[in-house]
Amino acid sequence: MIKGIDISHYQAGRVNYAALRPGGVEFAILKVSEGVTLADASFSAHYSGMRAAGIPVGAYAYCRATSVAEAEAEARAAVRALEYRALQLPLFYDIEEDALRLGGDSLLFMAAAFARVVTAAGYRFGVYSNQLGFWYLCPPERLRAAVPDAAVWVARYGASSVGVDGAQLWQYTNAGSIPGVSGDVDVDILYDEGLIRAGAPTADPVPDSGTGAPQPKADAVVRMLQSCMAQDGYWPEGQITGFKSREFREKIKEYAADVART
């Protein structure tokens, strides 16, 4: 059982990353996006600071969707905002507030749709919500029947336990005090340390946090192709020209050339 934090643009300029690990922070989950159009303005800075400090990182995307199609679009937006960065924890779908009015069946279908896109891009998937929100409408066993490896992150404040069977993460306060963070911050407990592991899409060779070995560039290209499929749609018979987006076509050509030079 280890302690971590989750942060967003609300903590912009308020984090001394080097002070976090000495202060007991052993992981961080960063907001990456909200809905389809909003990428969190502080994600890149938080990501770079955490990784420079040797702190494992996960991410979350805030749900504004009201349908399966919108959930898929939000997943593609999250993958784009991540820019193929490696994550050591899952990418969580933050389902709360207005979304809860949709009911358990709709939320389950939306979560599964989000999961299909992000796992196709090479990221692990989870859901964040409060004890009486998504997890009341759709308990972990129901989610995992649809998405077997889904990670379960529960928010519950002012309690002595997480209160949800199968929870792996507990956000136990939104007003925590942590050395290295100025002001209040969300604080979490990770029960399942196996959730922290290396491996995710990346456009560049990134050191594996467990071994220090660089990730093979060819693997990075394969994962990037998978991510492009998730974002841009299936391309016919694997032809680069089948991508709708010129940007993706050019990126693939660029990385293919890198592989040829190695």
Name the burial class of residue 126, with classes exposed (0-12), middle (13-18) and buried (19+) by CB atoms within 10 angstroms of its CB.
buried
Contact by Cβ (8 Å): 95, 134: yes
Contact by Cβ (8 Å): 30, 81: no
Half-sphere CA count of 262, side-chain side, radius 13 A? 13
pLDDT of res. 69 = 95
pTM: 0.77
Token duo for residue 146: 């649809």
**Of 90, 111, 91, 89, the residue nearest 100 (C-alpha):** 111
Q: DSSP assignment of 31-97, as one string?
A: EEEETTTEE-TTHHHHHHHHHHTT--EEEEEE---SSHHHHHHHHHHHHHHHTT---SS-EEEE--G
Which residue in this structure is represented by tokens 């299909």? 116
Domains by residue range for the chain, with CATH: 2-195 (3.20.20.80), 217-261 (no CATH)
**CA triplet 82, 39, 177: central angle to 5 degrees?**
90
Mean pLDDT of each 10-residue bin along the chain, 262 residues long: 96 95 97 96 96 96 96 95 92 94 94 95 95 95 95 96 96 96 96 81 36 39 51 42 53 55 46
Rg of the chain, C-alpha, whole Å: 18
